[in-house]
């Protein structure tokens, strides 16, 4: 039985299906909830055992110790300095926790979890036998995709992306009245290989969309990913990831001190911005392309796509001190004008109401006995 990659018109890059012949049409249908996307760029890790949730809670940024069966969220693994090392969506079915990780991170994340088990009653396994299907909930194909989902313990495995709204214990830095993620009801169904092949054989070709379509909708929703927005310096504050992947009021975990310090007292050194690119030269910059303000290099592109309504769009990590106005992206020797929309403002963080000590020079020369209760 053929899979998605063997259908007519497919353009692939390894296991990643980029499009099925018409990327823009696929994107429109995916946005309308009328298409599904095979997610060959992501991998499943199964964590089983009675202590799986309390253990994951103790070593990651998210509060998952009491995650209910069928509930979805996401988590980050931070280094001791609070920098992002790994990221994954998580869905628990009452018996196992299922982590959805970018394919390039799955083996490293699985290896790190295995090394951190010690005597914990939990088992970690990469499930390369399973496949992932993405779609927007509420559309015409949602029920078809959800019905095909794997249910090894009696509960179908469909992860609901928490990015659509601010999670409990999270915080949003973006200062917008209407966040573009409000309509981004992204779902990921976990399928067995046989069920994925059966779905590929039964679904109409018009209901299929490639990764180019999915990435364009993600970028438009300002949604960060490990494979694109994360480098060796990344703090979760910089990409507004505290919105969905960090619980600010949970117990201790590695990197928590930096998370709290930057959020309450400081500012992240970099910030994520959305760029609308001038498409007149028909040049789409690659991730990593430099961003300039005048003659000063102020950041780089992390993700880029051609959106079916907005045209060329991108996400960029910029220096906190980068100006908030128009910028320039340099690609293939061409300067591309970029209109900036601030996602994380330069003054993000320092949100706590910390009382300030009175400066010594401003203290009165002598205390008032009536206010201190001293003297007669």
CA gyration radius for the chain?
Answer: 23
pLDDT for position 105: 98
Is 220 in the same domain as 293? no
Question: Phi, psi (5° rounding) for residue 165?
Answer: -150, 170
Is 171 in the same domain as 33? yes
Asked if residue 27 belongs to a domain, the reply is yes
Q: Compute the C-alpha angle 141/207/191, nearest 5°.
A: 60
Asked if residue 376 belongs to a domain, the reply is no
Asked if residue 364 belongs to a domain, the reply is no
Asked if residue 122 belongs to a domain, the reply is yes
1 vs 6: CA distance, rounded Å: 10
173 vs 343: CA distance, rounded Å: 7
Is 137 in the same domain as 286? no
Is 147 in the same domain as 59? yes
Asked if residue 106 belongs to a domain, the reply is yes
The neighbour count for residue 16, using CB atoms within 10 Å, is 17
Task: Report the chain (376 residues): mean pLDDT per 10 consecutive residues.
Answer: 78 94 96 97 98 98 97 98 98 98 98 95 97 96 94 97 97 97 98 95 94 98 98 98 97 94 95 94 93 98 97 98 97 94 94 46 41 36
Asked if residue 251 belongs to a domain, the reply is no
How many domains are there within the chain?
2
Is 114 in the same domain as 198? yes
Alpha helix (H) residue ranges in 203-255: 211-220, 226-229, 242-245
Asked if residue 242 belongs to a domain, the reply is no
- 123-140 burial, b at 16+ Cβ within 10 Å, e below that, comes to ebebbeebbbbbbbbebe
| Residue 108 DSSP one-character state | H
Is 39 in the same domain as 184? yes
CA distances from 258 to 59, 263, 360 (A): 15, 8, 30
pLDDT for position 2: 59
Its domain, for residue 275, covers: 266-352
20 vs 146: CA distance, rounded Å: 21
Is 152 in the same domain as 205? yes
**Hey, which bits of 79-194 come out as E strands?**
84-92, 96-102, 123-126, 130-136, 158-160, 186-192
Pairing label, strands 37-38, 158-160: unpaired
Asked if residue 252 belongs to a domain, the reply is no
Alpha helix (H) residue ranges in 225-336: 226-229, 242-245, 256-265
Q: What is the pTM of this model?
A: 0.92
Residue from 77, 133, 121, 132 nearest 96 by CA: 121
Is 225 in the same domain as 271? no
Is 100 in the same domain as 199? yes
Is 221 in the same domain as 270? no
Beta pairing partners, 90: 73, 99
Is 164 in the same domain as 113? yes
For residue 48, give the CATH number of its domain.
3.30.1360.120
CA distances from 215 to 225, 301, 308, 314, 338 (A): 10, 14, 12, 10, 19
Is 157 in the same domain as 286? no
Three-state DSSP state, 289: coil
**If you search the block for the tokens 């950041």, which residue do you land on?**
299
For residue 341, give the CATH number of its domain.
2.40.30.110
pLDDT for position 310: 96
């Amino acid at each position: 039985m053929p899979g998605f990659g063997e259908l007519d018109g497919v353009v692939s890059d390894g296991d990643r299906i980029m499009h099925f012949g018409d990327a823009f049409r696929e994107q429109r249908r995916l946005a309308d909830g009328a298409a599904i996307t095979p997610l060959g760029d992501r991998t499943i890790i199964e964590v089983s055992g009675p202590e799986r949730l309390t253990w994951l809670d103790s070593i990651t940024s998210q509060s998952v110790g009491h995650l209910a069966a069928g509930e979805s969220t996401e988590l980050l693994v931070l280094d001791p300095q609070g920098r992002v090392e790994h990221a994954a969506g998580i869905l628990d079915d009452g018996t196992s926790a299922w982590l959805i990780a970018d394919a390039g991170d799955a083996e490293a994340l699985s290896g790190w979890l295995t090394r951190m088990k010690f005597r914990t009653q939990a088992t970690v396994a990469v499930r390369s036998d399973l496949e992932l299907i993405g779609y927007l909930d509420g559309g015409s194909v949602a029920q078809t995709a959800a019905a095909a989902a794997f249910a090894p313990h009696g509960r179908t495995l469909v992860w609901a992306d928490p990015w659509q709204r601010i999670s409990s214990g999270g915080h949003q830095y973006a200062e917008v009245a209407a966040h573009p993620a409000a309509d981004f009801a992204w779902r990921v169904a976990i399928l067995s290989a046989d069920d994925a092949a059966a779905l590929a054989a039964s679904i109409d070709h018009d209901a299929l969309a490639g990764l180019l379509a999915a990435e364009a909708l993600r970028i438009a929703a300002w949604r960060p990913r490990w494979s694109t927005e994360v480098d060796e310096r990344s703090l979760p504050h910089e990409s507004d990831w505290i919105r969905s992947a960090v619980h600010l009021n949970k117990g201790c975990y590695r990197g928590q001190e930096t998370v709290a310090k930057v959020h309450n007292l400081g500012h992240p050194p970099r910030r994520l911005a959305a760029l609308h690119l001038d498409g007149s030269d028909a040049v789409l910059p690659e991730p990593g392309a430099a961003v300039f303000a005048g003659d000063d290099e102020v950041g780089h592109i992390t993700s880029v796509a051609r959106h079916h309504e907005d045209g060329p769009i991108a996400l960029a990590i910029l220096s906190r001190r980068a100006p908030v106005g128009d910028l320039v992206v340099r690609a293939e020797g061409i300067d591309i004008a970029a209109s900036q929309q601030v996602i994380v403002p330069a003054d993000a963080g320092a949100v706590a109401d910390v009382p300030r000590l009175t400066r010594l020079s401003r203290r009165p020369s002598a205390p008032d006995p009536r206010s201190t209760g001293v003297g007669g």
